[in-house]
């Protein structure tokens, strides 16, 4: 079977490959298990879909251009080759800036994993996060073949079939927990979280800590999560009280140098955190001294995850139940932000000269970006969880017009051109030989849409930025212009936005009616050139009605789950197209109106995600039943689907809806995702 050939790590597999694997998987799925619990007539559905899906995306010709069959969108998954053409390493010199050589070097980055290759890596003894990330979640072939029967699950339909795995998180089901969770899924893997709010499997927190009152306390605290902890030195501050406030935070991110100097802390000032920094540094260096590398531990109901990157230690302390892998990805993003500010050579240089360097000074001004990232993780972020982008849904032909407009107005020094509306990607122009990395786009989106500073400033911006996925050694220059999506005021920035609206970054106004034009160049002198391109671009987009298209697409917003599958029990879902490195989700309304609702939803997604991505969990379909929700994760080589239904939904209904979602996605794929894009 094709998938037998697929190695556990498919770092450099190309699309052709994954297509093959996909068909393999689908035929396999036919034999062994769709998400429908035990109904034979349901079994074929997803399998057939999966295959069709594979074929359709394989067949979908990259719009325009005689290109190979690679996924056309720049952003790449971490587990798929990020090289556009492996032969394209040298000779990319059309940009004559001093940075030109950096461009060509960038293509040598194979994946995010490459970027984190630092002198101090995670323990060789244990599974490193790097290898974890570059491993396809499906794992080796037996993932598809394994049949695990379900026993004793409270609400399970008896006939549960192949490769369906469930767990219960409710205290009421406590008696079943042991048998359900004892083996395979989590227990046998060293790399797995030992503490997880929603799954509550082993270690860490005691079951009774998860009872309702505890939940409520967490809820209460969450609303205070983003309140500032006052400075110790401020007058009238009772340090005891501050420390209590500090400890009450659900999530901390700390960054320190290996010499123990604080670099960044999401909460609390230097004085407040100094003792914690000291303790953490002591613990880490104790292990380091023994040539061991501490990756994480649990204490006081929190999970501590530690990442060592060159001269830096990054620490996440979370009570929100993410897995180590997920927390490490968050730390990785913070590290990328630091690189993005400084570049790797500068960072290394600072510490090579003086190991006791205080990094706060060179990083000044970056705290807001780090905090914006940290807070998006704390609120829960689907793009971060999935390492994928969300696009603005529109007709293929309409997007084509926009792509062509981008290409037509392209100026010589343009490297990447992006149009982003309502926080979602509309179009991307890029050189054929360079892709855009999801981790880089995460930084850019964070800077522009999460941290409000740039947008609030009004006007146009010229921002030196290192995109580490592209090239961690040098800067690019990013022209940013926010354009109100109405023809009349097309060139004026939208100044009336208050960035307080961030609490609901999606539906609410902050990014609502603006279109961001991002033009990236390697030439720091190209501002006026890019600005001129912006003017032409907007002009043409106005003329060919694309601004109108974009505006109505924004206004339409995300469809509700019931718009996608009428009458569905699904309250929310995430669908990730792996090949496109993009995801789709319906609106949070009406079921998840508040920040807390969404945090809980995202926590559930994290649990599902951790479940199907756990090492040795060769799962294709994964059910989770908790007090508040029945949910399902379904992973194939082509997509990942995570769906959540209400607590009383039957798994059958959920599975059927999941199938319908897949059908819908298949039908709408070319509208929901950017397939092709503008390549030059």
Partner 1 sequence: MVDSGNASAPKPSSSVKLVLLGEAAVGKSSLVLRFVNNAFQENKEPTIGAAFLTQKTALPTRTIKFEIWDTAGQERFASLAPMYYRNAQSALVVYDLTKPTSLIKAKHWVAELQRQASPGIVIALVGNKLDLTKGAGGEAAALPAEEEGVEGEGEGEGDGDARKITTQEGRSYAEEEGLLFFETSAKSGVNVQEVFTAIANAIPETQMKTSRQGAGGGAGGGTQAALGSDRVNLTGGKGEAKEGCAC
Which part of the chain contacts partner 1 (CB under 8 A), choosing from 54-62, 294-302, 447-455, 665-673? 447-455
Q: Which is nearer to partner 1, 215 or 529 (CB)?
A: 529
| Residue 449 and residue 423 in contact, taking contact as beta carbons nearer than 8 Å | yes
Tokens of 76: 């790449």
CB of 106 to partner 1, least distance (A): 20
| Residue 325 and residue 606 in contact, taking contact as beta carbons nearer than 8 Å | no
Binding mask 467-506 for partner 1 (x = CB under 8 A): ----------xx-------------xx-x-----------
Q: Is 96 in the site for partner 1 (CB under 8 A)?
A: no
Q: Is the peptide bond before 590 cis (omega within 30 degrees of 0)?
A: yes
Q: Which residue has tokens 């400084």?
A: 342
CB of 223 to partner 1, least distance (A): 21
Q: Which is nearer to partner 1, 33 or 452 (CB)?
A: 452
Burial of 215 (0-12, 13-18, 19+ CB in 10 A): middle
Question: Within a 13 Å sphere around the CA of 512, how many CA atoms are in the beta-carbon half?
Answer: 14
CB of 633 to partner 1, least distance (A): 38
State which of positions 228-267 bind partner 1 (CB under 8 A).
Answer: none
Q: What angle do CA 529, 531, 534 make, to 5 degrees?
A: 115
Nearest to residue 677, comparing CAs of 584, 580, 585?
A: 580
CB of 10 to partner 1, least distance (A): 36
CB of 427 to partner 1, least distance (A): 22
Tokens of 4: 């037998």
**DSSP-H helix ranges across 425-545:** 438-445, 453-457, 468-471, 527-543
Q: Is 412 in the site for partner 1 (CB under 8 A)?
A: no
CB of 123 to partner 1, least distance (A): 34
CB of 217 to partner 1, least distance (A): 30
CB of 491 to partner 1, least distance (A): 9
Q: Is 345 in the site for partner 1 (CB under 8 A)?
A: no
Pairing relationship of beta strands 389-390 and 414-421 according to DSSP bridges: unpaired
| Residue 133 and residue 121 in contact, taking contact as beta carbons nearer than 8 Å | no
CA 234 and chain centroid, separation = 37
Q: Judged by CB under 8 A, which of 287, 297, 462, 664 binds partner 1?
A: 462
Q: Which is nearer to partner 1, 212 or 361 (CB)?
A: 361
Q: Is 453 in the site for partner 1 (CB under 8 A)?
A: yes
Q: Is 217 in the site for partner 1 (CB under 8 A)?
A: no
CB of 463 to partner 1, least distance (A): 4
Integer Cα distance of 643 and 605 in angstroms: 8
State which of positions 351-370 bind partner 1 (CB under 8 A).
Answer: 361-362, 364-365, 368
CB of 378 to partner 1, least distance (A): 19
Integer Cα distance of 130 and 107 in angstroms: 19
Q: Which is nearer to partner 1, 14 or 539 (CB)?
A: 539
Strand partners, 463: 478
DSSP code of residue 103: H
Integer Cα distance of 295 and 316 in angstroms: 11
Q: Is 98 in the site for partner 1 (CB under 8 A)?
A: no
CB of 140 to partner 1, least distance (A): 45
CA 200 and chain centroid, separation = 23
Residues in contact with partner 1, total (CB under 8 A)?
A: 35
Integer Cα distance of 515 and 402 in angstroms: 13
Integer Cα distance of 474 and 101 in angstroms: 10
Strand partners, 307: 314
State which of positions 505-564 bind partner 1 (CB under 8 A).
Answer: 524-525, 527-529, 531-532, 535
Q: Is 179 in the site for partner 1 (CB under 8 A)?
A: no
Q: Which is nearer to partner 1, 307 or 369 (CB)?
A: 369
Q: Which is nearer to partner 1, 372 or 426 (CB)?
A: 372
| Residue 492 and residue 517 in contact, taking contact as beta carbons nearer than 8 Å | no
Tell me the longest C-alpha to C-alpha distance in the chain. Answer: 70
Burial of 247 (0-12, 13-18, 19+ CB in 10 A): middle
Nearest to residue 584, comparing CAs of 550, 553, 558?
A: 558
Q: How many residues does the chain have?
A: 680
Which part of the chain contacts partner 1 (CB under 8 A), choosing from 55-63, 299-307, 446-454, 672-680? 446-454
Q: Which is nearer to partner 1, 301 or 345 (CB)?
A: 345
Q: Judged by CB under 8 A, which of 220, 299, 456, 508 binds partner 1?
A: 456
Q: Which is nearer to partner 1, 420 or 610 (CB)?
A: 420
Residues that bind partner 1 (CB under 8 A): 341-342, 361-362, 364-365, 368, 447, 451-454, 456-465, 477-478, 492-493, 495, 524-525, 527-529, 531-532, 535
């Amino acid at each position: 079977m094709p998938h037998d050939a697929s190695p556990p790590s498919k770092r450099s597999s190309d699309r052709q490959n994954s297509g093959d694997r996909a068909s393999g998987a689908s035929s396999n799925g036919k034999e062994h298990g769709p998400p429908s619990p035990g109904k034979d007539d349901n079994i074929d559905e997803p399998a057939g879909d999966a295959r069709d899906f594979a074929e359709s995306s394989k067949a979908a010709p990259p719009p325009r251009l005689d290109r190979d069959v690679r996924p056309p969108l720049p952003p790449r998954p971490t587990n798929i080759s990020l090289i556009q053409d492996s032969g394209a390493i040298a000779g990319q010199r059309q940009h004559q800036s001093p940075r030109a050589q950096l461009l060509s070097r960038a293509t040598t980055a194979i994946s995010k994993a490459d970027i984190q290759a630092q002198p101090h890596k995670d323990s060789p003894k244990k599974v490193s996060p790097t290898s974890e990330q570059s491993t396809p979640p499906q794992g080796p072939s037996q993932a598809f073949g394994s049949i695990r029967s379900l026993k004793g699950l409270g609400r399970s339909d008896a006939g549960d079939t192949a490769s369906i795995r469930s767990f219960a998180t409710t205290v009421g089901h406590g008696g079943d927990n042991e048998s359900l969770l004892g083996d395979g899924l989590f227990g046998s893997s060293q790399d797995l979280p030992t503490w997880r709010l929603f799954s509550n499997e082993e270690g860490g927190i005691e079951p009774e800590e998860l009872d309702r009152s505890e939940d409520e306390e967490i809820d209460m605290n969450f609303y205070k999560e983003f309140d500032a902890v006052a400075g110790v030195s401020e007058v009238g501050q009772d340090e005891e009280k501050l420390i209590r406030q500090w400890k009450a935070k659900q999530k901390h991110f700390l960054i320190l140098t290996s010499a123990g100097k604080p670099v960044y802390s999401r909460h609390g000032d230097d004085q407040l955190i100094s003792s914690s920094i000291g303790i953490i540094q002591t613990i880490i260096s104790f292990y380091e001294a023994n040539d061991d590398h501490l990756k994480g531990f649990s204490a006081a109901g929190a999970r501590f995850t530690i990442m060592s990157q060159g001269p830096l230690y990054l620490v996440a302390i979370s009570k929100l139940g993410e897995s180590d892998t997920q927390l490490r990805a968050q730390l990785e993003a913070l590290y990328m932000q630091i690189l993005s500010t400084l570049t790797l050579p500068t960072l290394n240089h600072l510490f090579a000269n003086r190991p006791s360097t205080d990094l706060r000074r060179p990083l000044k001004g970056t705290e807001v970006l780090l905090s914006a990232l940290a807070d998006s993780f704390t609120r829960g972020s689907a793009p971060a969880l999935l390492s994928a982008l969300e696009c603005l849904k529109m007709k293929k032909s309409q997007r084509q017009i926009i792509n062509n407009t981008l290409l037509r107005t392209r100026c010589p020094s343009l490297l990447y051109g992006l149009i982003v509306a309502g926080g979602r990607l509309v179009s991307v122009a890029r050189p054929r030989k360079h892709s855009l990395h999801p981790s880089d786009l995460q930084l850019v989106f964070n800077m522009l849409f999460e941290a409000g500073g740039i947008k609030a400033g009004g006007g146009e911006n010229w921002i030196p930025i290192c995109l580490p996925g592209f090239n961690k050694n040098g800067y690019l220059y990013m022209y940013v212009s926010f354009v109100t999506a109405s023809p009349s005021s097309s060139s004026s920035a939208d100044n009336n936005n208050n960035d307080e609206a961030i609490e609901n970054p999606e539906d609410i106004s902050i990014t609502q009616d603006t279109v961001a034009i991002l033009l990236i160049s390697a030439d720091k002198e190209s501002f006026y050139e890019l600005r001129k391109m912006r003017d032409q671009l907007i002009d043409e987009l106005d003329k060919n009605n694309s601004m109108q298209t974009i505006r109505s697409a924004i206004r339409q917003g995300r469809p509700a789950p019931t718009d996608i599958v009428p009458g569905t029990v699904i309250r929310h879902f995430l669908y990730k197209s792996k090949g496109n490195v993009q995801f789709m989700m319906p609106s949070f309304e009406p079921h998840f109106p508040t920040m807390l609702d969404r945090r809980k939803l995202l926590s559930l997604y994290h649990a599902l995600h951790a479940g199907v991505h756990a090492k040795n969990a060769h799962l294709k379909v994964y059910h989770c039943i908790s007090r508040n929700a029945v949910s399902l994760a379904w992973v194939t080589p082509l997509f990942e689907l995570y769906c959540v239904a209400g607590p009383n939904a039957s798994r059958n209904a959920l599975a059927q809806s999941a199938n319908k979602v897949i059908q819908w996605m298949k039908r709408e794929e070319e509208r929901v995702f950017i397939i092709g894009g503008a390549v030059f």
